[in-house]
Amino acid sequence: MKDAIRNNFDASPDAYEAYERMSGRFGTLADRLYRAMSDRCAFPIETCLDAGAGSGISTRRLQAHGVTPIALDLSRSMLEENRANDRVQGDFDHLPFVADTFDSVAFTASLFLTPKPDRAASEASRVLRPDGVVGAVAPIGWMTPDGTDVFASLARQSRSPTSAEAVGDALRASFSVERGRWTFETTAEELRSLHSIPAMAARLYPRLDTDERVERARSLLDGIEGPLEQHWRWFVGV
């Protein structure tokens, strides 16, 4: 499973950045998550483990808020694009850090990618200093404005390895958690752009090769028209 996740993201940096240039979505999620974490934290956040930091979108947002990020990711190719001073290739289910190291741990669009998020949540708790704060965002789905799931009428579901509910359950086992929902108005073109990232097309066609899966995703989604909404669940725990 981890090899598949790593390989999928190793093929994804260019398409990932193209989606971000179009939507700004991951940067916005990172900003909002940081603010929610900062509001809940008893002290000013100086350090943050950016867990699943990828190509650096969340890392740059943390830096913009005056926080020193430590960027950790499974994927070497994603991490090579990340400009953080401290970058670590590793698995957030088995963190290579001693206890009480960070003020905060942020999982910006990453914790739902692991099949056993309880392991990562307990690792986050271990490496946080006392009263440190954890945050995570996980996708709920893409809907039409009347609340219909975009994928309901299609032959495929865009599934995460772990649902937003399971991410919340995992965090609640280690933290006192507050949660909420963020809704973004979006378009069918953004939906297609997200699923042209090889790691996201793998949600639809996990067994196909990179090029074929991206092409099949595009033709599956070709007939979708906007406007659409994208829903995310956020969690902050202390």
- Considering the rule CB under 6 A, would residue 74 count as an interface residue with ligand SAM? yes
* CA–CA gap between residue 92 and residue 117 (Å, rounded): 9
Residue 194: phi, psi to the nearest 5?
A: -60, -45
Q: Which of 36, 48, 109, 136 binds ligand SAM (CB under 6 A)?
A: 109
C-beta of 114 vs 221, nearer to ligand SAM: 114
How many residues in the shown chain lie near ligand SAM by CB under 6 A? 22
Closest separation in Å from C-beta 153 to ligand SAM: 26
CB 51 within 8 A of CB 92: yes
Q: Which of 92, 102, 232, 234 binds ligand SAM (CB under 6 A)?
A: 92
C-beta of 144 vs 205, nearer to ligand SAM: 205
* CA–CA gap between residue 124 and residue 132 (Å, rounded): 10
For 185-220, the three-class secondary structure string (H helix, E strand, C coil) is EECHHHHHHHCCCHHHHHHHCCCCCHHHHHHHHHHH
E strand map for the chain: 47-51, 68-73, 86-89, 102-108, 128-143, 177-186, 228-237
Closest separation in Å from C-beta 26 to ligand SAM: 4
Q: How distant is the alpha carbon of residue 173 from its chain centre? A: 20
Q: Which of 15, 23, 26, 138 binds ligand SAM (CB under 6 A)?
A: 26
Q: Which stretch binds ligand SAM (CB under 6 A): 71-79, 121-129, 207-215, 226-234?
A: 71-79
Binding site for ligand SAM (CB under 6 A): 5, 9, 26, 30, 52-54, 57-58, 72-75, 78, 91-93, 108-110, 113-114
